[in-house]
Amino acid sequence: MFLRKDSHISRSEGFTAHTRVLVSVDQRHVMATLYQIEDGFIAANEVGLSEAAWRLLGIQDGDRIRIRHAPTVESLSLVRSRIYGRELDDDALQAIITDIVKGRYSTIEISAFITTCATRPLSRREICALTRAMVASGERLHWDDMIVADKHSVGGLPGNRTTPIVVAIAAALGLTMPKTSSRAITSPAGTADTMEVLAPVSLSEEQIRAVVVRERGCIVWGGAVDLSPADDILIRIERALDLDSEGQMIASVLSKKIAAGATHLVIDMPVGPTAKVRSAAEARNLTEGLTGAAAAFGIKLKVVRGDGNQPIGRGIGPALEARDVLSVLKCEADAPSDLRDRALVLAGALLELTGKAAPGQGPAMAATTLDSGQAWAKFQRICEAQGGMRTPPQSLHRKTLTAPCSGTITIMDNRRLARLAKLAGAPEDPAAGLDMQVRMSERVEAGAPLCTVHAETPGELAYALSYADANPDIIAVRA
Amino acid sequence: MFLRKDSHISRSEGFTAHTRVLVSVDQRHVMATLYQIEDGFIAANEVGLSEAAWRLLGIQDGDRIRIRHAPTVESLSLVRSRIYGRELDDDALQAIITDIVKGRYSTIEISAFITTCATRPLSRREICALTRAMVASGERLHWDDMIVADKHSVGGLPGNRTTPIVVAIAAALGLTMPKTSSRAITSPAGTADTMEVLAPVSLSEEQIRAVVVRERGCIVWGGAVDLSPADDILIRIERALDLDSEGQMIASVLSKKIAAGATHLVIDMPVGPTAKVRSAAEARNLTEGLTGAAAAFGIKLKVVRGDGNQPIGRGIGPALEARDVLSVLKCEADAPSDLRDRALVLAGALLELTGKAAPGQGPAMAATTLDSGQAWAKFQRICEAQGGMRTPPQSLHRKTLTAPCSGTITIMDNRRLARLAKLAGAPEDPAAGLDMQVRMSERVEAGAPLCTVHAETPGELAYALSYADANPDIIAVRA
């Protein structure tokens, strides 16, 4: 909230910069952080509010509002008690998460909660209590089936778009797999962004239910159904801090899956120096933590480790990744084999975990379903059920980057490749992104194509290319 | 920084809400947090900046600026390493504090630093390293004297304005005592606010030096000379979190005193359930920590505990507290005895610590100096040296709150008394505040005065009185 420093209310209430205030209209309230301004845009008897506050208060320009010091948020004393050494129980974490979801914590306070839970790691009991509180913070889907399959990827590599393929295979074999996915926050595409170029993904709970009743599976945007909203809030601050603590990662993953009604869960865990999970030891700890916590909620869970050293597939960006997915589903001759292989391993693990396949037979069963065209047919029916299949858009402006000399590809910098794709316009422009033409360790001749930049406007293409010019080692060729 | 969500730079750079950006003009840079707006006040090729950013960049309306993603702040990886279990050394804390003072940390990141240092308490070595880094973050005063006296109060009670009296006594006895004090942040008056109604306090380093050479002592605003600026930044976030960790409190106190050049330091530590230090055990721990860390910097330190259950003196607010100080210095018959007694105990401790008085003789020596008029004479000379003594302003509007029934005073709620004084206009209006007419456990008749509210405008008086009406138990009388 913006308020003039010299306004009557600012002076008499003793508001200072960053004061937490309660803004009220009738029975609706919003807690806000105060920014003081000295002159300019607003009058002394006016305030400025964020778009979110306007929506929550349901007000119009010119309405009268009430402002006062925000009441004490009682659960903050629980956060302080944890900082001072106490372990938090179910009730405490419930109170904290409820207040966070209701918008009663400032970002500074959320940061303190996250940091204390990372500095003195959450105990097993705290992880379960946090998970339970996060599930209770939002909606929950219930299914009649005894087995509800799900998958999750820890720290996606660019282009690692196995989900639509896994869902198509699982649903084709009769597994119930109502998959809710996220949109990109800092990456060039989330699974929901990629799927959206192929079919509508913003479905209501009733619409999701209708799709799943008819086709067993779906691939929709989780944000439309409010599953574990606490997770979205915490993740935003964790990302700002670049902080991943094991306990919070476990609660984050499980709360979303429990809220979605999953009973059997396969976790895709790429391990590599630039992936989220960096070492075998870290992978082992996280696997133990996930398995233990999942068991406490009656969920069967299997972690499938993978190579986290390279991107998967060729496209980076919604439409280009969707093209790879279609290519694998259609079993085209030049489909990216790494994407196909990874999808089969994950689908196979899910088939074994749910008892659809005998131990060791999962990947073969998945391959048969894919090669027979059943997965492709199922995927098309899912798209129709979600509102109609779409053709991915094509970019209008392209430029191919070429090898400056003959040699071997020694570096493919995933982080900067993602940045380049975003500069080109992904994911807002779904056709924008990168199309990779080489893989690590491949030999190339001078002038050979390395990757093609796709953009919707000449301006964005130029912007991305100037970044590529300034960073010639994003894809490095050693003679 | 405010930027339109649909601006070219927002889209092409991939800025999202809360992105940290670097704003540059020529060779000047400011790191800012991005707030995205959708329409309204600014054009797509314009940005809005905070007053602080305008000042730091030295720009005019209409100037061209450059904006890009903020470079990685390397020291944040050190904060993360502490969260993950590492102890921080001198270099690490130096790097963190330097970046915080240069404005490179967002409030979320500062909150994480503070919280990790409180959750796994700072080690003795870390406390010393943090203190050293905080001293190095700002200016440092050097004095030729072997003994430079100072005092500090941990968690002031309302009206606890002993500093001007202690400085006057110490300087009258020949001790060098260049006292730098703070302004109120959330209280109705800081020592600098109170002193300012008696003399100018915003002095440059040269001016302070001239006063101290001439009179031995001064009472000035520390903010004008930039001592341990890191402390001011950290305290703002600690206050927002309502978090006081022992290690940070020690580093905060000592860094300010080391930067001010102190060699001998008396700490006023009120202990009581509503004071900052709540129990004898807490006081013992903090005393040990302070003494140990001070020794590492060659500072002689003595902690003087006191009763933290009651406010000290009668006035609350700059001018009313200044009146109490003058009354004690002039040895008036009705001077508040609690303020006089506390000032003599603290001055006595300082005289003994510095060797001016033999053990046990300090308070008597202080009393003699006060009663002889030497302290009052010294105080007047200090005020003259600081730019001329002033007469405290008188309020224009007053209203006395009275006892609703005959009985005994059982509650004096310090927190809400401070709030009432602020609602009346303190410290912005120096004459505003409260004048207490009763003490705890005193007997009063129905209709007897309890305290008088002072304000500069009828509106503020009315505002404060309506708060008093709604909170009749701020001063409770039990029949």
Residue A109 has pLDDT above 90, yes or no: yes
**What percentage of chain B has pLDDT greater than the value 90?**
68
As a whole number of angstroms, the distance between CA B395 and CA A468 comes to: 67
Quote the pLDDT of residue B416. 84
Task: For A431-463, write each residue's pLDDT tens digit.
Answer: 999 999 999 899 999 999 999 999 998 888 998
B432 Cβ neighbours under 8 A, 6+ residues apart: B317, B395, B421, B424, B425, B426, B454, B455, B456, B460
Give the pair of three-digit tokens for residue A325: 């997915």
Amino acid at A317: G
Average pLDDT over every residue of A68-72: 81
Q: Which of B20, B41, B42, B83 to mutate to test the interface with A (most CBs of A within 10 A)?
A: B83
Q: How confident is the model at residue A183 (pLDDT cuts 50, 70, 90)?
A: confident
B100 contacts: CB under 8 Å, gap ≥ 6: B110, B113, B137, B230, B233, B234
Identify whether the C-beta of residue B419 lies closer than 8 Å to the C-beta of residue B467: yes
The stretch B351-365 carries a mean pLDDT of: 97
Task: Judge: A11–B51 Cβ closer than 8 Å, yes or no.
Answer: no
Q: Which of B83, B93, B90, B69 is nearest to B19 (CA)?
A: B69
Among all residues of chain A, which has the CA nearest to that of B465?
A12
Confidence bin at A258 (pLDDT 50/70/90) = very high
Give A419's contacts in chain B (Cβ within 8 Å).
14
pTM assigned to the model? 0.88
pLDDT at A16: 75
Question: What percentage of chain A exceeds 70 in pLDDT?
Answer: 99
- The residue with tokens 């007000």 is A59
Is A244 in the active site? yes
Q: Which pLDDT value is given to residue B287?
A: 96
pLDDT of B232 strictly over 70: yes
Run of H or E including A24: strand A20-25
* Residue with more model confidence, A242 or B315: B315
* pLDDT (average), residues A270-286: 86
Contacts 24+ apart (CB under 8 A), B15-22: B15/B69, B16/A185, B16/A186, B18/A107, B18/A236, B18/A240, B18/B106, B18/B108, B19/B69, B20/B69, B20/B70, B20/B106, B21/B67, B21/B68, B21/B69, B21/B70, B22/B67, B22/B68, B22/B69, B22/B70, B22/B71
pLDDT at B214: 97
Supply the pLDDT for residue B330.
98
A415 CB neighbour count, 10 Å cutoff:
10
Question: What CATH topology corresponds to B397-478?
Answer: Aldehyde Oxidoreductase; domain 3 (3.90.1170)
Q: Where are the domains of chain B?
A: 2-69, 76-136, 149-228+240-385, 397-478
Lowest-pLDDT range of B106-120, B133-147, B209-223, B407-421: B407-421
Confidence at B160, pLDDT banded by 50, 70, 90: confident
Judge whether A287 and A294 are in contact, CB under 8 Å. Answer: no
Look-up of token digits 């990302």: A239
Query: What's the pLDDT at B60?
Result: 85
- Residue A140: is its pLDDT beyond 90? yes
Q: Say which amino acid occupies B396.
A: L
Contacts of A118 in chain B (CB under 8 A): 83-84, 116
Segment A176-199 shows an average pLDDT of 91
The span from the CA of B359 to the CA of B263, in Å, is 19
* B307-336 residue pLDDT tens: 877 788 999 999 999 999 999 999 999 999
Mean per-residue pLDDT of chain B = 92
Q: What is the mean pLDDT of residues A76-95?
A: 96
For the residues B225-239, what does the mean pLDDT come to? Answer: 90
The dihedral sign for the CA sequence B55, B58, B62, B65? negative
Residue A156, pLDDT score: 58
- B76-136 fold: 1.20.970
> What pLDDT is recorded for position B19?
80
Determine the pLDDT at residue B215: 97
Q: Which option is the CATH number for A149-225+238-386: 3.40.50.80, 1.10.3720.10, 3.40.1030.10, 3.40.50.150? A: 3.40.1030.10
Inspect the interface and report whether the beta carbons of A108 and B237 lie closer than 8 Å: yes
Would the CATH topology of A149-225+238-386 be identical to that of A397-478? no
Nearest chain B residue to A424 by CA distance is B12
pLDDT for A40 beyond 70: no
Cα–Cα distance, B412 to B440 (Å, whole number): 7
Mean pLDDT of B193-214: 96
Q: What is the pLDDT of residues A359-376, one digit of tens each?
A: 999 999 999 999 999 999
Question: Closest Cα of chain B to A230: distance in Å?
Answer: 18
- Is the pLDDT confidence value at B306 over 70? yes
Contacts of B341 (CB under 8 A, 6+ apart): none
Calculate mean pLDDT across residues A335-349: 96
Mean pLDDT calculated for residue range B173-189: 90
Of A51, A111, A186, the CB nearest to B108: A111
Task: Enumerate the residues of chain B whose CB falls inside 8 A of the CB of residue A109.
Answer: 111, 240-241
Going by pLDDT thresholds of 50, 70 and 90, the confidence category of residue B460 is confident
Q: Is A216 on the interface with B (CB under 8 A)?
A: no
As a CATH number, domain B149-228+240-385 is 3.40.1030.10
Which range, of A83-92, A160-169, A291-300, B28-37, averages the lowest pLDDT? B28-37
Candidates A107, A108, A453: best to mutate against B (most CBs of B within 10 A) is A108
**Mean pLDDT of the B180-201 span:** 91
Q: How confident is the model at residue B35 (pLDDT cuts 50, 70, 90)?
A: confident
Q: A422 in contact with B at a CB cutoff of 8 Å?
A: yes
pLDDT at B183: 87
Quickly state the pLDDT bin for A415 (edges 50, 70, 90). Answer: confident
Q: Hey, is the C-beta of A69 within 8 angstroms of any chain B C-beta?
A: no
What ipTM describes this predicted complex? Answer: 0.86
pLDDT at A96 over 70: yes
Q: Taking residues B103-129, what's their average pLDDT? A: 95
A interface test, pick of B54, B75, B107, B111 with most A CB neighbours within 10 Å = B111
